[in-house]
Amino acid sequence: MRPESHSHFLTEAAIVAKLTHPAIVRVRDFGVSPMPDGQDAPWLVFDWVSGRTLADDLDERWNDPPRAPWEVLELMRPVLRALAMAHAQGIAHRDIKPANLMLMARAGGNDEVPVRVLDSGCRRCSNSTSAASRPG
């Protein structure tokens, strides 16, 4: 990783780490560390989530009847709200796809958000967004 890439990665990671929304898997820490071969490797630490991706779910449901429109809306509403919140802060995901949406394992009767946005490293920041401090 080139030194100018370090700065770009750390700036984006700091901004993304400040995003807090129930439908976004949170970045807890980040950095750039030297590897044994002398190269530097960027890294992110996310909250642990349990479930399966929407891509896996769609593959498993291939021969099943499609979800009703109201089911799709209920499933995607938290994702759309999370993306709108990020967009309002000058952050765009750039890689929304079924493999980057995690359907959460839900305990019976709780009101946990049913889907979370993964892959925070794919976001980019507008010029108007300032760099954030490291998460604490």
Region for 18 from its dihedrals, namely left if φ exceeds 0, alpha if ψ lies in -120 to 50, beta otherwise:
alpha
Could you read off the pLDDT of 21-47 as tens digits, one per residue? 999 999 999 999 999 998 888 998 999
Domains and CATH numbers, the chain: 3-125 (1.10.510.10)
Q: Please give the positions annotated as active site.
A: 95
Could you read off the pLDDT of 52-90 as tens digits, one per residue? 999 999 999 999 999 999 999 999 999 999 999 999 988
Among 23, 128, 6, smallest CA distance to 74 is for: 23
Residue 130, CB half-sphere, CA atoms under 13 Å: how many? 2
- 102 membership: H or E segment, kind and range: strand 101-104
